[in-house]
């Protein structure tokens, strides 16, 4: 059932002057309680945690309209198998992929889908959905992948068997994805930016090297900062009149500020770096869809990570530093 959420809209003031307001967006919340793409249970609780942390209220306070379409139900399970014995939950992941592709594609003509995960295997479906929509509109689809990992394995190459490590290879149109359905409109490497990565397996690196994917790993960001690499990619999106999908993984953030993830990698984005990324994305006016992935509330500290992720969405959707309320975790 579609549940519109209606909140009063406050005025926006700064030192006695009314601030220009960003264009209103119709935000469509879609729950994706996907837990099968990895082996540490808990991501299925992610959509409820985002709702509890006030995602809808945060968006409405910024002047956006909010529609919560509830949680997606996976397609019926098929008898899918593959040659790689390490792969687990293949039928379940394919079922989620089909359902999430359809849910995302259905939402895009009506607003900005915000998919609340759920582990990152959900992007097998969401990125397929946005790519199919872009192709139908005759526009180029771009993806910015905010993640500690490249997620560039295929079903054939993964040794862990965790399919949350495969969405970008699938989106790029690589072979090795039988029995998944063909990706509807493969995204060229030059339209993909990996931002903040710091953990890549040798097999993934071998697959990525022939591509034109922009890789802004933490070494690049340490040397060049956040602004220049991100703006360079956004300029390409703008020049192509493209649509931009943002996939935000909790492990993009340093685990010291975001502990609720089963794939922690030290050296991630700081609180301020993460907000700067979101603010620059907002100022670009290019973002058309968003994934929030890998939140595992079972590993959180009194909702700390869920609140931070909601806060980052606030920055993405127009909240400035001077508007942000003080957070209390007591």
The residues pairing with 12 across neighbouring beta strands, listed in sequence order, are: none
Please check whether residue 106 lies inside any domain of the structure. Answer: yes
CA–CA distances in Å: residue 231 to residues 161, 269, 315:
35, 17, 17
Catalytic residue status for 164 = yes
Please check whether residue 238 lies inside any domain of the structure. Answer: yes
State how far the Cα of 49 lies from the Cα of 47, in Å rounded to an integer: 5
Minimal CA–CA distance to 289: which of 180, 126, 160, 151?
Answer: 126
Please check whether residue 50 lies inside any domain of the structure. Answer: yes
- Among candidate residues 204, 294, 300, 311, the one labeled active-site is 294
- Among candidate residues 64, 89, 120, 282, the one labeled active-site is 120
Catalytic residue status for 120 = yes
- Among candidate residues 68, 75, 249, 291, the one labeled active-site is 249
- Among candidate residues 204, 251, 291, 300, the one labeled active-site is 251
Strand order in the sheet with 141-146: 3-5, 65-71, 26-32, 112-117, 287-293, 243-249, 141-146, 192-195, 214-216
Give the pLDDT of residue 322.
Answer: 61
Give the pLDDT of residue 9.
Answer: 37
Catalytic residue status for 149 = yes
Show Cβ contacts of residue 180 under 8 Å, excluding neighbours closer than 6 positions.
Answer: 94, 97, 124, 155, 170
DSSP character for 323?
Answer: G
Q: Give the strand pairing for 13-14 and 17-18.
A: antiparallel
pTM of the model: 0.91
Please check whether residue 21 lies inside any domain of the structure. Answer: no
Please check whether residue 14 lies inside any domain of the structure. Answer: no
- Among candidate residues 89, 133, 153, 164, the one labeled active-site is 164
71, 9 Cβ separation under 8 angstroms: no
Number of domains within the chain? 1
The residues pairing with 253 across neighbouring beta strands, listed in sequence order, are: 269
- Among candidate residues 35, 151, 204, 311, the one labeled active-site is 151
121, 93 Cβ separation under 8 angstroms: yes
Please check whether residue 18 lies inside any domain of the structure. Answer: no
- Among candidate residues 133, 149, 153, 282, the one labeled active-site is 149
Please check whether residue 12 lies inside any domain of the structure. Answer: no
Give the pLDDT of residue 16.
Answer: 31
Catalytic residue status for 251 = yes
Give the pLDDT of residue 18.
Answer: 32
Domain span holding position 249: 3-7+35-323
Say which residue the tokens 């050296």 belong to: 267
Give the pLDDT of residue 70.
Answer: 98
Minimal CA–CA distance to 286: which of 247, 240, 239, 238?
Answer: 238
Parts of the chain with a pLDDT under 70? 1-22, 321-330
- Among candidate residues 36, 68, 147, 254, the one labeled active-site is 147
Minimal CA–CA distance to 197: which of 148, 230, 233?
Answer: 148
Catalytic residue status for 151 = yes
- State the number of CA atoms in the 13 A half-sphere of 70 facing the CB: 6
- C-alpha gyration radius of the chain: 19
Show Cβ contacts of residue 196 under 8 Å, excluding neighbours closer than 6 positions.
Answer: 146, 147, 148, 216, 217, 218, 221, 252, 268, 269
Please check whether residue 25 lies inside any domain of the structure. Answer: no
Catalytic residue status for 147 = yes
CB atoms within 10 A of CB 6: 9
Give the pLDDT of residue 321.
Answer: 61
Show Cβ contacts of residue 261 under 8 Å, excluding neighbours closer than 6 positions.
Answer: 249, 250, 251, 255, 294, 295, 296, 299, 305
Is the bond leading into 179 cis (omega within 30 degrees of zero)?
A: yes
Domain of residue 219, CATH code: 3.40.800.10
């Amino acid at each position: 059932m579609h549940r519109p959420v209606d909140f009063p809209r406050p005025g926006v003031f700064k030192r006695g002057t009314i601030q220009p307001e960003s264009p209103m967006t119709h935000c469509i919340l879609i729950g994706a309680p996907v837990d099968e793409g990895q082996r540490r249970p808990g991501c299925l609780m992610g959509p409820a945690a985002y709702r509890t942390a006030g995602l809808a209220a945060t968006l409405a306070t910024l002047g956006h309209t909010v529609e919560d379409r509830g949680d997606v139900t996976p397609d019926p399970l098929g008898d899918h198998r593959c040659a790689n014995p390490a792969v687990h939950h293949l039928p379940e992941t394919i079922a989620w992929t089909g359902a999430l592709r359809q849910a995302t594609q259905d939402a895009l003509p009506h607003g900005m889908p915000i998919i609340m995960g759920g582990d990152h295997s959900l992007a097998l479906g969401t990125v397929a959905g946005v790519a199919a929509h872009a192709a139908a509109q005759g526009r180029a689809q771009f993806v910015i992948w905010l993640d500690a990992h490249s997620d560039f394995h295929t079903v054939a190459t993964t040794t862990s068997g965790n399919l949350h490590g495969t969405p970008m290879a699938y989106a790029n149109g690589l072979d090795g994805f039988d029995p998944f359905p063909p990706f509807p409109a493969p995204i060229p490497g030059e339209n993909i930016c990996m931002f903040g990565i710091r953990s890549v397996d040798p097999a993934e690196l071998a697959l990525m090297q022939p591509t034109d994917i922009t890789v802004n790993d933490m070494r690049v960001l340490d040397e060049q900062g956040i602004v220049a690499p991100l703006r360079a990619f956004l300029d390409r999106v703008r020049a192509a009149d493209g649509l931009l999908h943002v996939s935000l993984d909790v492990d993009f953030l340093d685990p010291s500020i975001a502990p609720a993830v089963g794939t922690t990698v030290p050296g991630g984005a700081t609180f301020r770096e993460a907000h700067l990324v979101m603010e620059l994305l907002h100022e670009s006016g290019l973002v058309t869809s968003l994934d929030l992935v890998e939140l595992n509330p079972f590993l959180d500290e009194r909702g700390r990570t869920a609140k931070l992720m909601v806060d980052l969405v606030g920055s993405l959707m127009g909240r400035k530093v001077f508007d942000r309320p003080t957070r209390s975790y007591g």
